[in-house]
């Protein structure tokens, strides 16, 4: 049986999604509990690996379980109950939205057609909410949103994003960015929304760091295009802190529902 699991997590105490030795990760916590519940090794594949400190409202994983064993068969006989068991066995910084059986053709990573990230900024002390300090970057000075929008326009399309990516040997930095929006939903708040087919390591945070420099007036909007054309990480600004970033939506093809699939809430 192949399962799709839609989940959310506060990334603050995780060393990212992917399993790492001697560090707490989302994958590590999830696989440990799944293995215990179904009585067999449970390896998950995710829609998009998030970095250390990055949050998710719409992470999706799939895994294959041998449901011919009696323990797995009992565990999976009622998937709503299984979701509750899984959710209740995980720490409070992880929520399981839903568990559904899917065809073997579904793949959390390769079936995904679009991933949407949102980065939240606060640029006015009057809007600084200490309760939300873990999911937004607080700036000491206001940013100019129209300039940031103009700069963001240089990023849309298919490009080599080498200036914005941490290079991995043997992997391409060509990516297609479908849309970037920069909005001010309320005084003192700025949201940057990035929609793309896929993103490379630290790409969104690197783009945010450069756009914030434009918003602060340290650089002009055309500079973003110059950074992109340089294909050199050294010419870009510092990456934005991870805690302002959230994976908010994943869409799939072939009529499959998008994430987050909040079929059941706890």
- pLDDT score of 206: 97
Cis upstream peptide for 260 (omega within 30°): yes
Q: Can you read off the two tokens belonging to residue 63?
A: 């895994």
- pLDDT score of 138: 96
Question: Beta-carbon neighbour count of residue 37 at 10 Å?
Answer: 18
Q: Which of 110, 130, 90, 84 is nearest to 10 (CA)?
A: 90
- pLDDT score of 32: 97
51 given a catalytic annotation? yes
pTM metric for this prediction: 0.94
Tens-digit pLDDT profile for residues 103-137:
999 999 999 999 999 999 999 988 888 988 999 99
- pLDDT score of 131: 87
Query: Do the beta carbons of residue 119 and residue 212 sit within 8 Å?
Result: no
Catalytic residue among 51, 67, 87, 213: 51
Q: Can you read off the two tokens belonging to residue 92?
A: 């409070």
- pLDDT score of 265: 42
DSSP annotation of 171 reads: -
- pLDDT score of 151: 98
Residue ranges in the chain whose pLDDT is less than 50: 264-266
């Amino acid at each position: 049986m192949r399962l799709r699991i839609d989940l959310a997590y506060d990334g603050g105490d995780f060393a990212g999604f992917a399993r790492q030795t001697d560090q707490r990760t989302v994958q590590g916590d999830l696989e440990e509990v799944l293995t215990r519940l179904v009585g067999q090794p449970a390896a998950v594949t995710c829609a998009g690996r998030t970095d250390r400190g990055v949050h998710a409202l719409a992470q999706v994983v799939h895994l294959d379980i041998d449901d011919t064993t009696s323990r797995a068969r009992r565990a999976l006989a009622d998937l709503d109950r299984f979701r509750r068991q899984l959710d209740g066995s995980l720490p409070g910084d992880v929520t399981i939205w839903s568990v559904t059986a899917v065809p073997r053709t579904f793949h959390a990573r390769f079936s995904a057609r679009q991933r949407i990230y949102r980065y939240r900024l606060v640029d006015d002390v009057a809007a600084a909410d200490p309760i939300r300090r873990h999911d937004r970057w607080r700036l000491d000075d206001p940013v100019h949103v129209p300039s940031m929008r103009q700069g963001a326009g240089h990023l849309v399309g298919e490009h080599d994003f080498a200036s914005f990516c941490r290079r991995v040997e043997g992997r391409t930095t060509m990516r297609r960015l479908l849309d970037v929006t920069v909005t001010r939903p309320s005084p003192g708040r700025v949201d940057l929304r990035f929609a793309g087919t896929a993103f490379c390591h630290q790409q969104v945070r690197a783009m945010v760091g450069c756009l914030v420099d434009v918003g602060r007036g340290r650089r002009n909007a055309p500079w973003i295009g110059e950074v992109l054309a340089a294909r050199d990480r050294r010419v870009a600004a510092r990456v934005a802190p991870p805690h302002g970033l959230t994976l908010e939506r994943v869409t799939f093809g072939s009529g499959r529902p998008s994430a987050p699939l909040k079929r059941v809430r706890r």
